[in-house]
Amino acid sequence: MALKLAVEGVDNLASSEIVELSLLICDDNYIQSLNKEWRGKNSPTDVLSFPQEQAPGVASLWLLGDVIISLDTAKRQAQERGHDLLDEVRILLVHGLLHVLGYDHEEGPEAAVEMEKEEIRILQGLGWNSNGLISASLSESCEDTHLPSASDSSKESVLKGTWKRSPFFKVVLCDMDGTLLNSKSRITEKTAAALKEAIARGVKIFIATGKTRPAVITACQSAGLVGELGLISETSPGVFVQGLLVYGRHGKVVHNQLLSEDVCIKAFQYSLEEKRPLLGFSGDRIVTLFDHPLVENLHTFYMEPKAEVAPSVEYIIKNFQIQKLLFADTAEEVSKVIRPYWSKKLGDAARVVQAQDDMLEIIPVGSSKGKGVQILLDDLGVDPDEVMAIGDGENDIEMLELVGWGVAMGNAVSPTLAVANAKVASNNEDGVVEALERFVLT
């Protein structure tokens, strides 16, 4: 009956007189051997599924494939979930059956939602007391149980990594400029409301940005998102200054990486000689060598701390520990003059990165926002696969690649769009709201 309900509406099975599924009940030792052979993981799991390719010219008989259930693991999970063994086996059977029919929660949250609905439909249609394997484990994580077609002997075709039973993410990393902030450098009321709702539901949202923490606090203040129960506070974890300054549990500094003095000296000397505005980021402070409208704009528009004007390069080196440098100019000057010059000049001493078209940042070699995110997640004990990240810039690429679900804003640069799992509306169209509604709040 479960098979009949599952294949209803499947077009390519409509003409088949017989639809057959092979079911094997085994112990942990046997399923562990299969897990090791096919997935390179020497441990038992609850259910494995092997889809079977249909032989050509045999329309009357359709062999779906194999579903293998470990009775040992099923017993343990039944006890943990407070129902009997029969209910657990039914849940695993339906889950494995849907995999051989082509459903796959690993393709992302939307695919997981679709599969979850089918699990519930079948189980309830049979009068079985369960909401399915995905729904039953919203706060758990487990290994993927979907294996390649039984006719495919290539181990490379096995889906890699772990999968999240929950289709929705409970930990979110969010960029600021171009993502959370619109083109006016503000958080809209709609975005603020969505963030507050997610936080109220227990979702952990952390900032990962090139900005300083004071700038983030200022930006969030008018939206009512500052405080212990808000998005940001003086003691909340987060990734700042392009991953060079990371605050972990209770706001403790867990990473603080500095730029070499030699790079700083050369850059500030160039700033003086070429009269190009340059800012040095040092924790919650910013320093420059001369006033300029673009330097002031970083404070008035981007809400960074007001830059301190130093009397000399030597004074800066003696009194500031510089984490990153930022050149501010027109987008054309940055792309045609400043970036080519410093990309060549730095060599292996440092690297350049851009979050905005009209700014070029110089950061230490081996550093990135993605590295900062990894340090934060390690400190919090969070698996990156359980995290969704939202960003738009070149500096967000590694972060989006690291986590389980990377979301690019509609205004994102092409390389960032290329690595994302999903695309949402732009920062001027409340794209963060769309991301939260589709992958967190649904």
Judged against a pLDDT cut of 70, whether residue 156 lies above it is answered with: no
- pLDDT reading at 138 higher than 50: no
The pLDDT tens digits of the residues spanning 205-259 come to: 999 999 999 999 999 999 999 998 899 999 999 999 999 999 999 899 999 999 9
- Read off the pLDDT of residues 382-418 as tens digits, 9 standing for 90 and up: 999 889 999 999 999 999 999 999 999 999 999 999 9
More confident residue, 441 or 399: 399
- pLDDT band for 350, please (50, 70, 90 cuts): very high
pLDDT digits over 77-113, tens only? 888 778 889 988 989 998 988 888 888 876 767 777 7
Instruction: Tell me how far apart the alpha carbons of residues 329 and 345 are, in angstroms, rounded to a whole number.
Output: 18
Q: Are 207 and 232 in contact (CB under 8 A)?
A: yes
Query: Which domains are assigned to the chain?
Result: 2-163 (3.40.390.30), 171-257+368-439 (3.40.50.1000), 261-364 (3.30.1240.10)
Tell me what pLDDT residue 229 has.
84
Of the candidate ranges 12-26, 168-182, 277-291, the one whose mean pLDDT is the lowest: 12-26
> Among residues 79, 70, 81, 23, which one has the least CA distance to residue 43?
70
